[in-house]
Amino acid sequence: MANFTTRLESVNTMLSAVGTAPINSLASPKGADISMAERVLDETHREVVSRGWSFNFETKVEFTPLGDAITLDENVLRIDATPGYNTGLDLVQRGTKLYDRKAHTYTITDKVTADVIYYTEWDELPEPARRYIMVRATRVFADRVVGYNHQHAFTVADEVQALADLKSSEGETGDHNMLTGSMSVYRIINRGSPLDSMSF
Protein backbone atom coordinates (compact mmCIF):
# COMPACT_ATOMS: atom_id res chain seq x y z
CA MET A 1 0.00 0.00 0.00
CA ALA A 2 1.32 3.42 -0.98
CA ASN A 3 2.49 5.63 1.86
CA PHE A 4 0.95 8.99 0.94
CA THR A 5 1.62 12.21 2.84
CA THR A 6 -1.53 13.21 4.74
CA ARG A 7 -2.79 16.72 5.52
CA LEU A 8 -2.14 16.03 9.21
CA GLU A 9 1.48 15.10 8.49
CA SER A 10 1.86 18.24 6.38
CA VAL A 11 0.46 20.48 9.12
CA ASN A 12 2.71 18.85 11.72
CA THR A 13 5.74 19.41 9.49
CA MET A 14 4.76 23.07 9.23
CA LEU A 15 4.27 23.37 12.99
CA SER A 16 7.63 21.76 13.70
CA ALA A 17 9.28 24.37 11.48
CA VAL A 18 8.29 27.07 13.98
CA GLY A 19 8.86 25.07 17.15
CA THR A 20 5.20 24.15 17.79
CA ALA A 21 4.36 20.72 19.16
CA PRO A 22 2.68 18.25 16.77
CA ILE A 23 -1.03 17.51 17.00
CA ASN A 24 -2.96 14.25 16.77
CA SER A 25 -5.95 15.54 14.83
CA LEU A 26 -7.11 18.43 12.65
CA ALA A 27 -10.47 18.48 14.41
CA SER A 28 -11.50 21.56 16.40
CA PRO A 29 -10.70 23.28 18.71
CA LYS A 30 -7.50 24.64 17.22
CA GLY A 31 -4.84 27.07 18.32
CA ALA A 32 -3.82 30.09 16.25
CA ASP A 33 -0.70 28.42 14.82
CA ILE A 34 -2.67 25.35 13.75
CA SER A 35 -5.39 27.39 12.06
CA MET A 36 -2.78 29.50 10.28
CA ALA A 37 -0.87 26.40 9.14
CA GLU A 38 -4.03 24.93 7.66
CA ARG A 39 -4.83 28.18 5.85
CA VAL A 40 -1.35 28.35 4.37
CA LEU A 41 -1.52 24.69 3.34
CA ASP A 42 -4.88 25.25 1.65
CA GLU A 43 -3.61 28.40 -0.11
CA THR A 44 -0.55 26.58 -1.39
CA HIS A 45 -2.62 23.57 -2.43
CA ARG A 46 -4.91 25.77 -4.54
CA GLU A 47 -1.95 27.74 -5.96
CA VAL A 48 -0.20 24.59 -7.14
CA VAL A 49 -3.18 22.76 -8.63
CA SER A 50 -4.33 25.96 -10.37
CA ARG A 51 -1.30 25.68 -12.63
CA GLY A 52 -2.68 22.53 -14.22
CA TRP A 53 -1.07 19.10 -14.26
CA SER A 54 -1.95 15.83 -15.96
CA PHE A 55 -3.82 14.70 -12.84
CA ASN A 56 -6.27 17.64 -12.95
CA PHE A 57 -6.26 18.78 -16.58
CA GLU A 58 -8.78 17.43 -19.09
CA THR A 59 -9.26 18.27 -22.75
CA LYS A 60 -12.38 18.30 -24.91
CA VAL A 61 -14.82 18.35 -22.01
CA GLU A 62 -18.40 18.92 -23.18
CA PHE A 63 -20.68 21.35 -21.35
CA THR A 64 -24.41 21.44 -22.05
CA PRO A 65 -26.41 24.59 -21.33
CA LEU A 66 -29.09 24.38 -18.68
CA GLY A 67 -31.74 26.71 -19.97
CA ASP A 68 -29.78 29.38 -21.82
CA ALA A 69 -26.55 29.43 -19.79
CA ILE A 70 -23.66 27.19 -18.77
CA THR A 71 -23.01 27.06 -15.03
CA LEU A 72 -19.73 25.44 -14.03
CA ASP A 73 -19.05 23.27 -11.02
CA GLU A 74 -17.13 25.04 -8.26
CA ASN A 75 -14.15 22.73 -8.79
CA VAL A 76 -13.46 24.30 -12.21
CA LEU A 77 -10.41 26.50 -11.63
CA ARG A 78 -9.66 27.44 -15.22
CA ILE A 79 -11.40 26.79 -18.50
CA ASP A 80 -10.51 27.59 -22.09
CA ALA A 81 -12.28 26.70 -25.30
CA THR A 82 -10.66 23.73 -27.02
CA PRO A 83 -8.90 24.93 -30.21
CA GLY A 84 -11.01 24.17 -33.28
CA TYR A 85 -14.29 24.09 -31.34
CA ASN A 86 -16.90 26.75 -30.55
CA THR A 87 -15.47 28.96 -33.29
CA GLY A 88 -18.37 31.41 -33.09
CA LEU A 89 -17.79 32.10 -29.40
CA ASP A 90 -15.14 33.89 -27.35
CA LEU A 91 -15.52 32.15 -24.01
CA VAL A 92 -14.20 33.17 -20.59
CA GLN A 93 -15.05 32.08 -17.08
CA ARG A 94 -16.78 34.62 -14.85
CA GLY A 95 -17.41 33.18 -11.41
CA THR A 96 -19.20 29.89 -12.04
CA LYS A 97 -20.59 30.85 -15.44
CA LEU A 98 -19.28 30.93 -18.99
CA TYR A 99 -19.44 34.31 -20.69
CA ASP A 100 -19.27 34.97 -24.42
CA ARG A 101 -17.16 38.10 -24.91
CA LYS A 102 -17.92 38.17 -28.60
CA ALA A 103 -21.67 38.58 -28.04
CA HIS A 104 -21.30 40.26 -24.61
CA THR A 105 -23.64 37.78 -22.99
CA TYR A 106 -23.98 34.84 -20.62
CA THR A 107 -26.56 33.39 -22.99
CA ILE A 108 -25.17 30.21 -24.52
CA THR A 109 -27.58 27.78 -26.15
CA ASP A 110 -25.26 25.23 -27.78
CA LYS A 111 -22.92 22.66 -26.29
CA VAL A 112 -19.40 23.92 -25.58
CA THR A 113 -16.18 21.92 -25.77
CA ALA A 114 -13.39 23.14 -23.51
CA ASP A 115 -10.10 22.29 -21.80
CA VAL A 116 -10.44 22.39 -18.02
CA ILE A 117 -8.21 22.56 -14.96
CA TYR A 118 -10.04 21.12 -11.96
CA TYR A 119 -9.44 21.65 -8.27
CA THR A 120 -8.18 18.34 -6.91
CA GLU A 121 -8.85 17.35 -3.30
CA TRP A 122 -5.86 16.40 -1.15
CA ASP A 123 -6.67 12.69 -1.13
CA GLU A 124 -6.74 12.69 -4.95
CA LEU A 125 -3.29 14.24 -5.36
CA PRO A 126 -0.33 12.09 -6.40
CA GLU A 127 2.46 11.88 -3.82
CA PRO A 128 4.93 14.17 -5.68
CA ALA A 129 2.29 16.94 -5.66
CA ARG A 130 1.60 16.43 -1.94
CA ARG A 131 5.31 16.58 -1.17
CA TYR A 132 5.85 19.77 -3.15
CA ILE A 133 2.82 21.47 -1.59
CA MET A 134 4.00 20.48 1.90
CA VAL A 135 7.55 21.76 1.34
CA ARG A 136 6.42 25.04 -0.18
CA ALA A 137 3.70 25.58 2.45
CA THR A 138 6.23 24.98 5.24
CA ARG A 139 8.54 27.67 3.87
CA VAL A 140 5.67 30.15 3.43
CA PHE A 141 4.34 29.41 6.91
CA ALA A 142 7.73 29.87 8.55
CA ASP A 143 8.14 33.19 6.73
CA ARG A 144 4.81 34.43 8.06
CA VAL A 145 5.46 33.54 11.69
CA VAL A 146 7.27 36.38 13.45
CA GLY A 147 10.83 35.46 14.38
CA TYR A 148 11.12 32.49 12.02
CA ASN A 149 11.60 34.19 8.68
CA HIS A 150 15.24 33.06 8.56
CA GLN A 151 14.67 29.58 9.95
CA HIS A 152 13.29 26.94 7.65
CA ALA A 153 12.71 23.21 7.94
CA PHE A 154 13.27 23.19 4.19
CA THR A 155 15.63 25.28 2.08
CA VAL A 156 15.01 26.81 -1.33
CA ALA A 157 16.97 23.86 -2.71
CA ASP A 158 14.49 21.47 -1.06
CA GLU A 159 11.61 23.30 -2.73
CA VAL A 160 13.36 23.28 -6.10
CA GLN A 161 14.00 19.53 -5.74
CA ALA A 162 10.39 18.82 -4.75
CA LEU A 163 9.17 20.74 -7.80
CA ALA A 164 11.66 18.89 -10.00
CA ASP A 165 10.34 15.57 -8.65
CA LEU A 166 6.78 16.65 -9.42
CA LYS A 167 7.72 17.66 -12.97
CA SER A 168 9.62 14.40 -13.42
CA SER A 169 6.55 12.44 -12.35
CA GLU A 170 4.47 14.59 -14.68
CA GLY A 171 6.76 13.77 -17.56
CA GLU A 172 6.50 10.04 -16.87
CA THR A 173 2.74 9.87 -16.41
CA GLY A 174 1.33 12.76 -18.45
CA ASP A 175 1.80 11.20 -21.92
CA HIS A 176 2.87 14.57 -23.30
CA ASN A 177 3.72 14.35 -26.97
CA MET A 178 4.43 17.43 -29.06
CA LEU A 179 3.95 15.39 -32.23
CA THR A 180 0.25 14.93 -31.50
CA GLY A 181 -0.38 18.63 -32.00
CA SER A 182 -1.99 18.92 -28.59
CA MET A 183 0.09 21.77 -27.23
CA SER A 184 -2.53 22.47 -24.57
CA VAL A 185 -1.59 19.17 -22.94
CA TYR A 186 2.16 19.53 -23.39
CA ARG A 187 2.33 23.09 -22.06
CA ILE A 188 1.19 22.18 -18.56
CA ILE A 189 4.46 20.42 -17.75
CA ASN A 190 6.55 23.41 -18.80
CA ARG A 191 4.53 26.23 -17.28
CA GLY A 192 6.29 28.42 -14.74
CA SER A 193 6.28 27.70 -11.05
CA PRO A 194 6.13 29.94 -7.99
CA LEU A 195 9.90 29.59 -7.84
CA ASP A 196 10.43 31.23 -11.21
CA SER A 197 10.01 34.69 -9.71
CA MET A 198 11.95 34.03 -6.51
CA SER A 199 15.27 35.70 -5.86
CA PHE A 200 17.97 33.30 -4.74
In what side-by-side order are the strands of the sheet with 112-118? Answer: 57-63, 112-118, 76-81
Decide: 70 and 53 in contact? Cβ < 8 Å: no
Whether the bond between 128 and the residue before it is cis, its omega within 30 degrees of 0, is no
pTM of the model: 0.80
pLDDT tens-place values along the chain, 200 residues long: 458 999 999 999 999 988 899 999 999 888 899 999 999 999 999 999 999 999 999 999 999 999 999 999 999 999 999 999 999 999 999 999 999 999 999 999 999 999 999 999 999 999 999 999 999 999 999 888 866 555 556 677 788 888 898 998 888 765 554 333 333 444 443 444 443 433 32
Annotated domain spans of the chain? 7-53+121-191, 57-118
Q: Which residues pair with 63 in a beta bridge?
A: 112
Largest CA distance in the chain: 58
Containing 127, the helix (H) or strand (E) segment is: helix 127-144
Which residues have CB under 8 Å from 123's CB, separation 6+? none
